[in-house]
């Protein structure tokens, strides 16, 4: 009799456990099937926006303006702001605020504070107020309206813009810009920029280079390195530039243009990952950047001798 009762008890517990798992799975299914919502549907409360406004005054107004019009920082209302965030979720905006703002003291705002700031941004943009706070569970489901924007011109049309005559040869340009900034990106394979200690320059004697290295540190240095790679790679196509050995850079060669385009693509990927503070992404990005450099080096550099002095440098 005792064994029968024990058996019934075990059976009941199995049924109860199965029921709990079923309810949980149903809940997950319902959440997964929840349709996206628009910021036009009243997704934040007035009280939440008020909290965000107080935070904005102390943490954001200095850069983005008292009315979110943009001063040092970009505007947080208007067509350009909506175009930048077209069809993206509020989770993306909260992530950016939490991880990268304020600019001079990033990652000092909590997740709830960042969400309150987004509520205030929506209110300032005249999007309707709702009855409940914008919650963490809603962030990924609520999106900005999709806006139309002009298509980005293809790389081929922007590479040959009007440029002044080159000042340095190819080796000098690479050492000045590509080499130091690529190394900042490569370094993310071993060091998390968000976990590095803040450097303090020596008080005396004053050293501008030492002081400068302490101003834009951590992820800010990565942001700038990615931009430097992306924006300056087309300078490798400047007509009239020469290699260190005096030979002209093959700016019209098809493969040279492809190598430069690959460098631009790697820089753009690095900038996207850096803005998202996505440390894990840089393993793959470093490989792409390394391939872009190495593929060009094999054809135009490595057979020519050391430090750009070989007679066959810049010749396929």
- What is the residue extent of each domain of the chain? 38-143, 155-308
pLDDT of residue 32: 46
Residues 87-114: what's their mean pLDDT?
93
pLDDT of residue 28: 42
Report the sign of the C-alpha dihedral through residues 251, 253, 259, 264, in that order. positive
Neighbours of 86 (CB within 10 A): 14
Domain at 155-308: CATH architecture = Up-down Bundle (1.20)
The percentage of residues in the chain with a pLDDT greater than 70, rounded to a whole number, is: 83
pLDDT at 25 over 50: no
Q: What is the mean pLDDT of the chain?
A: 86
pLDDT at 159 over 60: no
The percentage of residues in the chain with a pLDDT greater than 90, rounded to a whole number, is: 65
Lowest mean pLDDT among 38-52, 150-164, 191-205, 284-298: 150-164
pLDDT of residue 1: 44
Q: What is the CA radius of gyration of the chain?
A: 27
pTM of the model: 0.74
pLDDT of residue 153: 44
Q: How far apart are CA 95 and CA 111, in angstroms?
A: 8
Give CATH for domain 38-143.
1.10.760.10
Block residue for tokens 């834009």:
216
CB 315 within 8 A of CB 247: yes
Question: Quick check: bond before 143 cis, omega within 30?
Answer: no
pLDDT of residue 301: 86
């Amino acid at each position: 009799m005792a064994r029968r009762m024990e058996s019934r008890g075990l059976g009941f517990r199995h049924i109860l456990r199965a029921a709990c798992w079923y309810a949980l799975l149903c809940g997950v299914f319902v959440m997964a099937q929840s349709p996206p919502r628009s910021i036009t549907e009243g997704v934040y409360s007035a009280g939440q926006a008020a909290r965000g406004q107080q935070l904005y005054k102390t943490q954001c107004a200095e850069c983005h303006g008292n009315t979110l019009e943009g001063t040092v920082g970009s505007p947080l209302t208007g067509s350009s702001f909506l175009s930048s965030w077209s069809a993206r979720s509020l989770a993306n905006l909260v992530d950016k605020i939490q991880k990268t703002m304020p600019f001079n003291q990033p990652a000092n705002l909590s997740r709830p504070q960042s969400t309150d700031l987004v509520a205030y941004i929506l209110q300032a943009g005249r999007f309707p107020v709702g009855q409940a706070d914008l919650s963490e569970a809603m962030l990924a489901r609520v999106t900005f309206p999709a806006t139309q924007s002009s298509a980005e011109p293809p790389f081929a049309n922007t590479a040959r813009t009007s440029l002044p005559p080159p000042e340095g040869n190819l080796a000098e340009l690479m050492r000045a810009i590509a080499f130091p900034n690529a190394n900042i990106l490569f370094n993310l394979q071993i060091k998390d920029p968000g976990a590095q200690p803040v450097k303090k320059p020596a008080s005396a004697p004053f050293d501008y280079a030492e002081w400068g290295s302490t101003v834009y540190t951590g992820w800010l240095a990565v942001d700038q390195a990615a931009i430097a790679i992306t924006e300056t790679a087309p300078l490798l196509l400047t007509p009239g530039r020469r290699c260190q050995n005096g030979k002209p850079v093959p700016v019209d060669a098809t493969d040279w243009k492809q190598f430069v385009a690959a460098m631009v693509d790697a820089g753009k990927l690095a900038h996207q990952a850096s803005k998202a503070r996505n440390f894990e992404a840089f393993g793959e990005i470093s490989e792409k950047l390394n391939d872009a450099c190495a593929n060009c080096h094999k054809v135009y550099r490595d057979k020519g001798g050391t430090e750009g002095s070989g007679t066959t440098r810049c010749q396929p």
